[in-house]
Each structure stands twice: as structure tokens, then as C-alpha cells.
């Protein structure tokens, strides 16, 4: 058994192959110890958007580090955080007017939940419930696990998790059941917010639902005075085809969480954007109405500078064109598996593609995922299926040849599986 002092996330150290050491990154690749490029077909857990070490982001980091390290973010402020807040409000869905910084997707969502409860508490009409869609994933803190799917990931922590109202996932043809369940939940008058991953439930299995459902959920929330929290930690920054997935549904959420691609993936940073009414409910001469949340590294100036460089890239480079082209290529590649009995549930949302390997037992704990991972690793491809759900979420700079290689490997893996030797 390995005795490394490093404890890696989502890793069963007793079963995993030794870690591969990465010595550098470049564009769509991780570089391994032998100097060989590994195609990062999942953008290093979905953070890298434009490609690893985009020169403009690296330059912004270098320049910011000449003036800043960390600065306390109460009593003091700094230009990178202020400019970034203005920039984010300028490009986010309408109605989002304030930006609260933190440092990961989980904290962005945790902040959103606290903002929602704080809003109702501060206006003197407290509400106690949060609604979510089943199969969601919002992070690994106690609060975000409570909102996420219950199961093997959080069984040990169950005694500490709080109850939420769970809506059935809007399966095709059964969307009305989701809407009816939300309506019923809201009828309690206690739903502070509906927390959703817009259009794609990521870690829950790349499950995709139509924009019209999101739009209808928003209408129901509005009717009942409940808030809509859009967890765009994965879907944001172009993954589903638009800057934010909410745009595809024409939905303006009351709170929006972003992280991952906010800095182009270069540094940890998160932001929770909220409507003016939520901020204003926390404005008072009564100090008890303060928003009591912070993390030490809130609004790290160097990370904010990286995020500003990311915004600039969106303005000055043809990112949208790249995204459209990548989405079109994903579509073409997926087409080759249509009607193929080795696969089912072939699906796509913009630059994200997914398909399920047709196996009798394919849950997250089955050996299918680790075996596939090993197969891809041998071929210098970073692809980490969620059980039997194989998905690609490459950086937007991925080349046609590399995308071909990734799909060829998926094809080969499926044949190997069918032949029973993988």
C-alpha cells in the first residue's frame, strides 16, 4: 500500500495506481515526467477554459504579484476586486448587482444559501427551506452536500446534513412532474430558494434538461416569492454554448454562483452575484443584519487580476467562435455512435458531450469507471468517466486531431469492454 503523506481528493489510495506526476501544463495538455503531453479532455476538473497557461492570464498574474499578495477584504479594498465586480455585473444576466467573493465553487454556493436565508430573515419573513433537483452536485461542504444528491459520497456525514425538498429530475416527457413538485413545495410558503445547476447536472452524471424547464421553474419561484439560485460553477464561461447557461433559458436568477472558469482556471476564485434587494436586505443601522461570512483568502488580488484577464480574453479573442466550432465538432463526433448498441443516452450541451457505456452494472462504485480511466491513461488521455458515463469537456483550444484521438479511444474502449477484456 502507498504511504504517501498526500491525501488526494476522491481517491481510494488502497486501490488506485500510483499517481502520475505532472511537471508542467501547456494549452490542452498536462506534461508528464517523461515530457509526454497528456490531453486534458476534461479541463482538469472543468476549470481550464481557454487552455492551460493562457499567456494573457499568466502575464496578469505576474504583474499583479509585483504589487499584491493577500489583503484583508474587510475595511480595505483593492482595484482588481472592484474592477472585476464591475466587469462581472456588466456581463452577467440582468438584475445581478452585487458581487461577494470567495475561493471555490462550494463556498460560492454556501454563500448563496446563506444570502437567501439571510434575505428572508432580514426582511422579517423568515423561510426555512431550500429546494433542489435530484442528482445535483453543489460541492463537498456540509451545506452543499445537504443540497446535493445523497448517496455514497456523503453517507458518513448524513447525521449532519439538513433536509431539502427534492424535485424529480425533469426527464424527457415528464417535465411537468418536476414543475408540479416545485409548485407543491412552494405552497408551504417556506421555500427561500430553488438551487439549480442550469441545463446540465454535472457530477450527477452529465444529465441535461431543456431551457424551457428552467424558465418555468423561475416563473413558479417568482409567483411564490422564492429566489432562484443558479449554480453556474460548471456551466459558466461558455461550457454550454453561452457565457452562462441561464442565458439559454432567458432566465435572470436572483443569485448566481461562479468559480472554475472565472480565472480561466488558473487560480482559485469564486463569486456569488446577487440582486440588489438581497444586498439591501443586509443594509441596516442594526449590525445584526450584517452578512456574516468570510474566508481568509476572499478576493485574492492576484486571482482577481487573473479573472480580469479572462474577461479581457472574452472581449478580445474569438472565444464564442471557438465554442461554436467545438460544439459543432462534438456533435459530429457523437453522431458516429448513434444507434451503436455499445452506448446509450448520447447527449450534448454546447462544448460538453456525454454518452453512457451500455453495461449491466455501471454505478459510480462499479469498476467500470476506474478501468476506463486506466485505459485512457495508458493512451495519454485525461478522461475520468463518472461510472459508465463517459464525457468530454475539453478546453476551447483543443485541436481537431486531439478530439479525433479522444473519440477514437472512446470507441476502442467500448470495443474492449464489449470483448470483455477491459
Stretch that binds ligand PLP, among 123-131, 196-204, 281-289, 382-390 (CB under 6 A): 196-204
Contacts of 257 (CB under 8 A, 6+ apart): 105, 108, 109, 111, 112, 229, 230, 231, 232, 233, 270, 271, 272, 273
Q: Which residues contact 1 (CB under 8 A, 6 or more apart)?
A: 13, 14
- Closer to ligand PLP by CB, 206 or 281: give it: 206
User: Which residue from 40, 231, 356, 402 is in contact with ligand PLP, where contact means CB under 6 A?
Assistant: 231
Binds ligand PLP (CB under 6 A): choice among 49, 106, 298, 330: 106
Residue 154: CB minimum distance to ligand PLP, A = 13
Question: Is 45 within any annotated ligand binding site?
Answer: yes
Burial of residue 373, with CB atoms counted within 10 A of its CB: 0-12 exposed, 13-18 middle, 19 or more buried? middle
**Minimum distance from residue 138 beta carbon to ligand PLP (Å):** 5
Bridge-partner residues for 272, per DSSP? 100, 257
Among 25, 102, 104, 248, binds ligand PLP (CB under 6 A): 104
Q: State which of positions 115-144 bind ligand PLP (CB under 6 A).
A: 137-139
Binding mask 63-102 for ligand PLP (x = CB under 6 A): ----------------------------------------
Q: Which three cell numbers stand for residue 225?
A: 416569492
Of 27, 198, 202, 301, the residue at the interface with ligand PLP (CB under 6 A) is 202
Nearer to ligand PLP, 104 or 388 (CB): 104
Pairing assessment for the beta strands 352-357 and 389-392 based on DSSP bridges: antiparallel
| Count of residues in the chain | 422
- Calpha distance 137→246 (Å, rounded): 17
Q: Is the CB of 109 or the CB of 281 nearer to ligand PLP? A: 109
17-46 core/surface letters (b: 16 or more CB in 10 A; e: else): eeeeeeeebebbbbeeeeeebbbbbbbbbb
Indicate which single residue of 115, 233, 246, 406 sits in contact with ligand PLP (rule: CB under 6 A).
Answer: 233
Beta strands in 212-277 (DSSP E): 227-231, 255-258, 270-275
* Mask for 323-352, x = binds ligand PLP (CB under 6 A): ------------------------------
Alpha helices in 243-318 (DSSP H): 245-248, 276-281, 301-316
Considering only the stretches 89-97, 197-205, 329-337, 362-370, report the one whose residues sit in contact with ligand PLP under the rule CB under 6 A. Answer: 197-205
Q: How far is the CB of 143 from ligand PLP (least distance, A)?
A: 11
The residue (of 267 and 281) whose beta carbon lies closer to ligand PLP is 267
Q: Which is nearer to ligand PLP, 122 or 241 (CB)?
A: 241
On whether the CB atoms of residues 17 and 374 are closer than 8 A, the answer is: yes
Q: What's the Cα-to-Cα distance from 6 to each of 2, 3, 177, rounded to whole Å?
A: 10, 9, 45
User: How far apart, in whole angstroms, are the C-alpha atoms of residue 283 and residue 306?
Assistant: 30
Nearer to ligand PLP, 202 or 264 (CB): 202
DSSP β-bridge partners for residue 196: 230
384 is in an annotated binding site: yes
Is residue 106 packed enough to be buried (19+ CB in 10 Å), middle (13-18) or exposed (0-12)? Answer: buried
Task: Select the residue interacting with ligand PLP from 87, 105, 236, 387 (CB under 6 A).
Answer: 105
Pick 84 or 111: Cβ nearer ligand PLP: 111
**350 DSSP 8-state letter:** T
| Residue choice 109, 181, 243, 308 for contact with ligand PLP (CB under 6 A) | 109
User: Binding site residues, as ranges?
Assistant: 45, 105-106, 137, 231, 260, 294-296, 384
User: Binding site residues for pyridoxal 5'-phosphate, as ranges?
Assistant: 105-106, 231, 295-296
Question: Rule CB under 6 A: which residues touch ligand PLP?
Answer: 104-106, 109, 137-139, 197, 202-203, 231, 233-234, 259
Amino acid at each position: 500500500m502507498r504511504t504517501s503523506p498526500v491525501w488526494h481528493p476522491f481517491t481510494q489510495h488502497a486501490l488506485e495506481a500510483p499517481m502520475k506526476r505532472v511537471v508542467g501544463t501547456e494549452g490542452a495538455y498536462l506534461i508528464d515526467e517523461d515530457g509526454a503531453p497528456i490531453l486534458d479532455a476534461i479541463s482538469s476538473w472543468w476549470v481550464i477554459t481557454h487552455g492551460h497557461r493562457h499567456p494573457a492570464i499568466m502575464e496578469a498574474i505576474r504583474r499583479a504579484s509585483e504589487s499584491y499578495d493577500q489583503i484583508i477584504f474587510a475595511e480595505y479594498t483593492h482595484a482588481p476586486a472592484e474592477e472585476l465586480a464591475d466587469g462581472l455585473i456588466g456581463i452577467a444576466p440582468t438584475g445581478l448587482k452585487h458581487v461577494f467573493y470567495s475561493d471555490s465553487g462550494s463556498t460560492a454556493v454556501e454563500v448563496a444559501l446563506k444570502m437567501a436565508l439571510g434575505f428572508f430573515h432580514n426582511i422579517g419573513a423568515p423561510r426555512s427551506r431550500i429546494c433542489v433537483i435530484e442528482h445535483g452536485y453543489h460541492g463537498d461542504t456540509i451545506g452543499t452536500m445537504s443540497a446535493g444528491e445523497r448517496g455514497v459520497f456523503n453517507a458518513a456525514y448524513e447525521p449532519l446534513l439538513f433536509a431539502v425538498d427534492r424535485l424529480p429530475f425533469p426527464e424527457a416527457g415528464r417535465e411537468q412532474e418536476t414543475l408540479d413538485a416545485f409548485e407543491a413545495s412552494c405552497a408551504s410558503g417556506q421555500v427561500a430558494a430553488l438551487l439549480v445547476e442550469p441545463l446540465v447536472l454535472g457530477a450527477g452524471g452529465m444529465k441535461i434538461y431543456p431551457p424551457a424547464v428552467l424558465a418555468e421553474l423561475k416563473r413558479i419561484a417568482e409567483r411564490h416569492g422564492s429566489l432562484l439560485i443558479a449554480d453556474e460553477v460548471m456551466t459558466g464561461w461558455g461550457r454550454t454554448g453561452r457565457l452562462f447557461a441561464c442565458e439559454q433559458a432567458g432566465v435572470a436568477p436572483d443569485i448566481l454562483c461562479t468559480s472554475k472558469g472565472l480565472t480561466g482556471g488558473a487560480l482559485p476564485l469564486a463569486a456569488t452575484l446577487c440582486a440588489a434587494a438581497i444586498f439591501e436586505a443586509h443594509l441596516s443601522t442594526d449590525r445584526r443584519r450584517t452578512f456574516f461570512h468570510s474566508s481568509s483568502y476572499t478576493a485574492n488580488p492576484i486571482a482577481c487580476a487573473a479573472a480580469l484577464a479572462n474577461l479581457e480574453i472574452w472581449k478580445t479573442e474569438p472565444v464564442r467562435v471557438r465554442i461554436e466550432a467545438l460544439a459543432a465538432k462534438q456533435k459530429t463526433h457523437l453522431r458516429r455512435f448513434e444507434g451503436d448498441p455499445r452506448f446509450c443516452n448520447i447527449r450534448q450541451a454546447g462544448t460538453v458531450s456525454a454518452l453512457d457505456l451500455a453495461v449491466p452494472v455501471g454505478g459510480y462504485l462499479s469498476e467500470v469507471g476506474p478501468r476506463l480511466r486506466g485505459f485512457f491513461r495508458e493512451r495519454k488521455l485525461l478522461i475520468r468517466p463518472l461510472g459508465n458515463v463517459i464525457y468530454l469537456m475539453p478546453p476551447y483550444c483543443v485541436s481537431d486531431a486531439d478530439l479525433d484521438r479522444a473519440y477514437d479511444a472512446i470507441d476502442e474502449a467500448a470495443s474492449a469492454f464489449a470483448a470483455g477484456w477491459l
